[in-house]
Amino acid sequence: MNKILAVIRREFIERVRTKSFLIGTFLVPVMMGTFAYLPQMLAKRETGARTIIVLNGSNGSAGDRVASALSGARIGAGVQAKPRFVVRRIEAAGRTEAVRDSIVSLIGLREGPLDAPDGLLVLTEEAVSSGKLAYLGSNVTSFRDMNALERTLEPVLREERLHRQGVDQSVVEAASVRLDLKATKVTQGKVTGQSAEDSFWLAYIINLMMYMTLLLYGIQVMTAVIEEKSNRIVEVLISSLTPFQLLLGKVIGVGAVGLVQLSIWGGAGFYVTTVLGRQSGPAEIAAEGTAPSFSLPQISMELVTVVLVFFVLGFFLYSALYAAIGAMCNSQQEAQQANTPVTMVIALGMISMFALINEPSGTLARVLSFIPFFAPIVVPVRFAIAPLPALEVALSVLSMIVGILLVIWLAARIYRVGILSYGKKPSLGELWRWIRTA
């Protein structure tokens, strides 16, 4: 037992002392903070209102409606809201093309008159009826500006067309109320106050976190095995410890480093999303200033437990596999190829999230939860979307434990033979012989 402890301690201390661990551990929270602040910083960078010329070649009230809608568009909400567009209107019925060409020459001029226009909106009779509007501007690559224009103009033109068909103005207004679906998550009969976006983000973050940590620390175990094999210290070690003890110490030591790093990241993430996150939001592409601010989803104690338990189980499963692969290979380059199948399986688990998010309790989700290779990612993700019955979680844990025992049994046999074998990578047939004879 003391020997295993010595291996665990060595793996842990030697890893925690490295520069890459320190940088990784503390840089990631800094990056998380940056991502939380970035949208705010970008929003602040946004320049003031765009100057838009409305070149009106249409009849009736279309020109008025468009000009007033654009003038009314705001950035932000409440008292801080600022006008999004400065509108100049030019009447050019019958000669739109000629006027258009002369105005185009002014667009985007930096050293021209101070109020050089950013763009030109050409409103013709045909545009009103077909909805095909021409906009010529220096800012057409701005997703935000184009989105804002579209969302502002679309209802206005619809109203104009209805009006021309003789529909009463009050009816048009009453019919033009925009849909605002407010989805709220209900958990076991209780309204949580958590929005649909919050649930998605939480599931997404957990998905990514599980994927990254399983991959990262699994590969660390593999690298450690190859290192011991290639610098030939392994023979001294296994004259004192059984290969299984050595493997166990290594897996626990690396896993402990992973848990420490996860805890630091988790703590920092919690701080960033609760304390800082409430002050800003993620990049909200929607042009309207009424974008809901991103809030940290409610994280229950049950969810935290599920995440940690499945990280530990998943780590044991995958690190045993990675250790076996490490033992089969002679160099890191060789291992990079050999580990592809395992890495693909982890990636499949991650990708399956996009199927789960629509139907977190569907047949696919249930089946995946009982397959040990997918459960470590699938179960926490499902749990984040909607808590699972305790029995289902327990059964999943049980299936994982059975899977882990099987995988460790196989991996330990491959490891035992592999760490002393140098030369060619074993074929599948040789591998099978290793498993049988070990």
Distance of closest approach, residue 213 Cβ to another protein, in angstroms: 23
**Residue 282 φ/ψ, nearest 5 degrees:** -70, 165
Which one of 6-14, 108-116, 135-143, 163-171 is the stretch in contact with another protein (CB under 8 A)? 6-14
Comparing CB distances to another protein, the nearer of 68 and 242 is: 242
314 and 211 Cβ atoms separated by less than 8 Å: no
Task: Please report, to the nearest 10 degrees, the dihedral formed by the alpha carbons of residues 397, 398, 403, 406 taken in order.
Answer: 140
Integer Cα distance of 391 and 93 in angstroms: 73
Task: Choose among 256, 317, 349, 234: nearest CA to 16.
Answer: 256
123 and 62 Cβ atoms separated by less than 8 Å: yes
Distance of closest approach, residue 421 Cβ to another protein, in angstroms: 5
Which string of x and - marks every residue 82-101 that binds another protein (by CB under 8 A)? --------------------
CA 196 to chain centre: 15
Residues 179-238 that bind another protein (CB under 8 A): 227-228, 231-233, 235-238
Which one of 4-12, 45-53, 206-214, 267-275 is the stretch in contact with another protein (CB under 8 A)? 4-12
Asked if 14 touches another protein (CB under 8 A), the answer is yes
Binder among 34, 184, 242, 279 for another protein (CB under 8 A): 242
Distance of closest approach, residue 341 Cβ to another protein, in angstroms: 22
347 and 270 Cβ atoms separated by less than 8 Å: no
Binder among 34, 130, 176, 240 for another protein (CB under 8 A): 240
Asked if 10 touches another protein (CB under 8 A), the answer is yes
Distance of closest approach, residue 426 Cβ to another protein, in angstroms: 8
Asked if 23 touches another protein (CB under 8 A), the answer is no
Reading the block at residue 93, the tokens are 């019925």
Asked if 241 touches another protein (CB under 8 A), the answer is yes
Asked if 270 touches another protein (CB under 8 A), the answer is no
Residues 162-181 that bind another protein (CB under 8 A): none
Task: Choose among 327, 316, 324, 322: nearest CA to 342.
Answer: 322
Distance of closest approach, residue 3 Cβ to another protein, in angstroms: 6
Comparing CB distances to another protein, the nearer of 10 and 82 is: 10
Distance of closest approach, residue 10 Cβ to another protein, in angstroms: 5
Binder among 3, 161, 163, 164 for another protein (CB under 8 A): 3
Q: How would DSSP label each residue in 402-427?
A: HHHHHHHHHHHHHHHHHTT--SSPPP
Binder among 284, 288, 392, 430 for another protein (CB under 8 A): 430
329-338 long-range contacts (CB < 8 A, ≥24 apart) are: 329/226, 329/425, 330/226, 330/229, 330/230, 330/422, 330/423, 330/425, 331/226, 331/230, 332/223, 332/226, 334/425, 335/222, 335/223, 335/226, 338/425
Comparing CB distances to another protein, the nearer of 202 and 219 is: 219
Task: Choose among 294, 202, 334, 311: nearest CA to 257.
Answer: 311
376 and 255 Cβ atoms separated by less than 8 Å: no
Cβ-based neighbours of 278, under 8 Å, separated by 6 or more: 293, 295, 296
Asked if 12 touches another protein (CB under 8 A), the answer is no
Q: Which residue reads 């793996």 in tokens?
A: 11
Residues 365-404 that bind another protein (CB under 8 A): none
Comparing CB distances to another protein, the nearer of 65 and 229 is: 229
Comparing CB distances to another protein, the nearer of 349 and 426 is: 426
H-assigned helices in 1-86: 2-16, 19-45, 62-72
Q: How would DSSP label each residue in 76-123?
A: SSGGG-EESEEEEEEE-TT-HHHHHHHHHTTTT-SSS-TT--SEEEEE
Comparing CB distances to another protein, the nearer of 270 and 422 is: 422
Comparing CB distances to another protein, the nearer of 238 and 386 is: 238
Comparing CB distances to another protein, the nearer of 9 and 278 is: 9
Distance of closest approach, residue 224 Cβ to another protein, in angstroms: 10
Residues 409-428 that bind another protein (CB under 8 A): 417, 420-423, 426
Cα–Cα distance list, 242 to 82, 106, 235, 248, 328 (Å) = 71, 81, 11, 10, 18
Task: Choose among 102, 107, 181: nearest CA to 139.
Answer: 107
Asked if 432 touches another protein (CB under 8 A), the answer is no
Binder among 165, 239, 333, 427 for another protein (CB under 8 A): 239
Neighbours of 258 (CB within 10 A): 22
Asked if 6 touches another protein (CB under 8 A), the answer is yes
Q: Which residues bind another protein (CB under 8 A)?
A: 2-3, 6-7, 10, 13-14, 18, 227-228, 231-233, 235-242, 417, 420-423, 426, 430, 433-434, 437
